[in-house]
Amino acid sequence: MIESILKNLGGEMPKAEQYSPLTLAYIGDCVYELYVRTYLIKDANHNVNKLHKTATKYVCCKHQAEFFYKIERMLTDEELAVFKRGRNTKSHVPKNSEMKDYRIATGIEALIGYLYLKKQNERICELMSFAV
């Protein structure tokens, strides 16, 4: 998918390593949510309100932190380094989130964004299978 987007934009993007952790998390948040939404509709059409409520349970900081603990031992050194860069980045923590969970969620999103930009879709699917 990323190749098609780049072709339409008429250029090449910088290497994944060149992006800031928050930029990686920005795109990773989108990819993470798209995976969850796709998972939720895989069996059939459902009530959209119900889909949204279910999706928000998977895409919240607390669930993303739980997801990290499930996959932590599966991560390569490179993936763990990207996660830590995202986790350690200073950002505003929303009122309804615990700081620890929010930072871990940012690390997860940075990792997913990094893998997406590296075109490692199979790896994303492998890891994300533990999220839902």
pLDDT tens digit sequence for 51-99: 999 999 999 999 999 999 999 999 999 999 999 999 999 877 777 778 8
pLDDT band at residue 19 under the 50/70/90 scheme: very high
> For residue 2, is it within any domain?
no
CA atoms within 13 A on the CB side of 112: 30
> For residue 87, is it within any domain?
yes
> For residue 9, is it within any domain?
no
Domain range enclosing 38: 19-128
d(CA 98, CA 94): 8
CB atoms within 10 A of CB 50: 10
If one counts the domains in the chain, the total is 1
Both tokens of residue 78?
A: 């490179």
> For residue 79, is it within any domain?
yes
pTM beyond 0.85: the answer is: yes
Active site residue 29: yes
**How would you class 84 by CB atoms within 10 Å of its CB: exposed for 0-12, middle for 13-18, buried for 19 or more?**
middle
